[in-house]
Amino acid sequence: MAVYSKILLAVDLSEESDQLIEKTRTIAQNNHAELTVLHVIEPLSFAYGGDVPMDLTTVQDQLDEHARIKLSAFAEKLNYPVESQQVITGHTESEIHRMAEDKECDLIIVGSHGRHGLALLLGSTANSVLHGAPCDVLAVRVYEPET
């Protein structure tokens, strides 16, 4: 009996995202699970407080297309069948929750930087996903590449 039948892997497509590949593949294989890979793009208007005196549609479209290309390349590295690849624009935590509900996922996998101090007080994506998630959440510790 599989513990997890539908897994949602939420990635930010940074270099650290590759650190999620092996654990995600192993969990998915061991459970013969359907795997959805998600990347959420925060709208540019969020970054600029919503009051931008110009149309950012073209820039947002370019960001979306770039993310789709990167997500496709990431999904290939998983070396596991991906049921669905999704690039969505919106608030990261709520879009992850929504996708997990829509796909009836029983596990969400996210990367966590394990920040401390002020970054911890301000909250992290992994922490926000955990609170309010409709299912189990696995926060995989990722490390920034050494320079």
> How many other C-beta atoms lie within 10 A of the C-beta of residue 55?
8
With contact defined as beta carbons under 8 Å apart, do 24 and 11 qualify? no
User: CATH number for the domain including 126?
Assistant: 3.40.50.620
Residue 108 covered by a domain = yes
pLDDT tens figures, 13-37: 988 899 999 999 999 999 999 999 9
Q: What is the largest CA-CA distance in the chain?
A: 55
Residue 18 covered by a domain = yes
Residues spanned by the domain of 40: 6-141
Residue 119 covered by a domain = yes
Residue 147 is classified by DSSP as -
Domain count, the chain: 1
With contact defined as beta carbons under 8 Å apart, do 25 and 81 qualify? no
The percent of residues in the chain predicted with pLDDT above 90, rounded, is 61
Residue 80 has pLDDT above 60, yes or no: yes
